[in-house]
């Protein structure tokens, strides 16, 4: 493919981004330059640009096959990719399957310990501030993302981890941790962006535990170029498991989406219609007689709260793993939530509005949780 790159739009520590004649497309050029510790350590890794371009391309293509939206269009040359022109969300999302790096240092634990549940951390992408850590509320309050974007971003992050762990395992590599970045495409959709490579992952050889990633550069371990070449060779080798990993993932997502559709989707939030009108379930459980009844009476309210970021729901995942291990391999998409019940006195219309407001404002966290309300007249 020949695409003419035009002006240099941005130069980062490991990549350059160029415009093209098409405003919706950019070219990324991968450099051999390497930095660590917020660029306090600088160097170069011969051949790194080509390795990372090839590795990131293969991985993004694999993820796209499994339905993960990405910015990648094509590999143009050994160190250039054609990508969608996206607005990069200034967050670095780090996924940790095992303790290592700054996590091990921060909490004083040895490297290599399994993390259960998987730990997701995210930082503001700002070198001048030293990439400070954020949480949900800070990311939303600072105007970096909307709660909906955050939700999408974390669902995609969980999907990427679910896909990449077995992808690397099939190549004799343990995915210890990695960093993702996302972009917003011209239609407003969140897509996976930046790169996934030995620069942005920790990869340990499954048999020997050898580090095959940028830690060899960060920690002056030697054999840096060889490690990058080794990762390229393994990633570019097709394995029999690849298609199976994609198939299982797609089946799991479909099961989960079915569960979602069944549970219903009543997002909390001040602008949400559901705020004023409780979930349809309220109507279903409220008899026509009660509706016609003016005057106060007692209702039983049931408020169900579920983590929105359900793929990362650690309790649901733990229950599912146990259930499946015990022989119920046909169970998928387990989610664990909480139910709050109470009695409330008043007229139906008032009570409906009051319970809906309570549910979204006090009983759940609209950034992280979905809420559903049911009301029925108390017996007697
Ligand atoms: P950390 O343990 O140093 O916080 O790194 C966690 C993971 O994130 C590791 O796989 C390396 C990757 N990473 C980047 O891709 N870019 C960065 O700037 C940093 C600090 C980490």
Say how many Å lie between the CA of residue 241 and the centre of ligand 1: 28
Domain 5-237 has CATH 2.60.120.620: no
pLDDT for position 125: 96
Say how many Å lie between the CA of residue 307 and the centre of ligand 1: 27
Which atom of ligand 1 lies nearest, measured to the CA of 121? Answer: 4
Ligand 1: residues with CB < 6 A are: 94, 100-103, 177-179, 200-202
pLDDT for position 265: 42
Extract the residue ranges of the chain whose pLDDT is less than 50: 264-292, 310-311
Please write the tens of the pLDDT for every residue from 157-178: 989 999 999 999 999 999 999 9
54-90 exposure pattern, b = at least 16 Cβ within 10 A, e = fewer = bbbbbbbebbebbebbbbbbebbeebbbbbbbbeebb
Which atom of ligand 1 lies nearest, measured to the CA of 178? Answer: 10
Class of domain 276-377: alpha beta
Identical fold for domains 5-237 and 276-377, yes or no, is no
pLDDT for position 124: 97
> What token pair was written down for 17?
């981004």
DSSP string, 144-200: S--HHHHHHHHHHHHHHHHHHHHHHHTTTEEEEEEEEEEEE-TTS-EEEES--STTT
pLDDT for position 277: 32
Shortest-distance Cα residue to atom 11 of ligand 1: 200
Please write the tens of the pLDDT for every residue from 288-347: 334 445 688 999 999 999 887 544 677 787 788 788 888 888 887 788 899 999 999 999
Domain boundaries, the chain: 5-237, 246-272, 276-377
**pTM of the entire structure?**
0.78
pLDDT for position 275: 31
pLDDT for position 283: 29
Which atom of ligand 1 lies nearest, measured to the CA of 177? Answer: 10
Rg (CA), the chain: 24
Shortest-distance Cα residue to atom 14 of ligand 1: 200
Mutate to test the pocket of ligand 1, among 200, 214, 218 (most ligand atoms within 8 A of CB): 200
Say how many Å lie between the CA of residue 116 and the centre of ligand 1: 19
């Amino acid at each position: 493919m020949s695409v003419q790159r035009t002006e240099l739009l941005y130069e980062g520590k490991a990549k350059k981004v160029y415009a093209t004649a098409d405003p919706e497309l950019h070219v990324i050029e991968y450099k051999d330059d390497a930095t660590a510790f917020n660029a306090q350590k600088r160097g170069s890794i011969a051949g790194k640009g080509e390795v990372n371009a090839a590795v990131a391309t293969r991985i993004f293509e694999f993820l796209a096959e499994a339905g993960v939206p990405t910015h990648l269009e094509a590999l143009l040359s050994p160190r250039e990719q054609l990508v969608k022109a996206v607005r990069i969300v200034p967050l670095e999302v780090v996924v940790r399957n095992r303790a290592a790096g700054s996590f091990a240092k921060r909490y004083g634990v040895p490297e290599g310990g399994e993390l259960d549940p998987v730990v997701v951390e995210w930082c503001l992408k700002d070198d001048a501030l030293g990439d400070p850590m954020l949480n949900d509320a800070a990311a939303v309050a600072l105007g970096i993302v909307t709660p909906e974007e955050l939700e999408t971003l974390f669902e995609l992050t969980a999907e990427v981890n679910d896909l990449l762990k077995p992808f690397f395992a099939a190549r004799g590599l343990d995915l210890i941790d990695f960093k993702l970045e996302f972009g917003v495409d011209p239609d407003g959709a969140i897509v996976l962006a930046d790169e996934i490579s030995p620069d942005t992952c920790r990869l340990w050889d499954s048999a020997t535990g050898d580090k095959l990633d940028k830690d060899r550069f960060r920690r002056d371990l030697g054999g840096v170029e060889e490690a990058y070449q080794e990762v390229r060779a393994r990633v570019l080798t097709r394995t029999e498991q690849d298609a199976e990993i994609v198939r299982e993932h797609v089946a799991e997502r479909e099961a989960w989406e079915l569960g979602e559709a069944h549970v219903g989707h009543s997002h909390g939030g001040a602008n949400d219609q559901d705020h004023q009108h409780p979930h349809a379930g309220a109507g279903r459980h409220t008899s026509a007689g009660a509706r016609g009844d003016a005057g106060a009476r007692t209702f039983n309210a049931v408020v169900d709260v579920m983590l929105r970021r359900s793929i990362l729901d650690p309790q649901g995942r733990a229950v599912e793993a146990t259930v499946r291990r015990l022989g119920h391999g046909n169970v998928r998409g387990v989610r664990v939530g909480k139910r709050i019940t109470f009695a409330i006195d008043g007229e139906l219309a008032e009570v409906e509005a009051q319970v809906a407001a309570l549910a979204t404002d006090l009983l759940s966290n609209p950034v992280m949780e979905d809420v559903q309300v049911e009301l029925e007249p108390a017996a007697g």
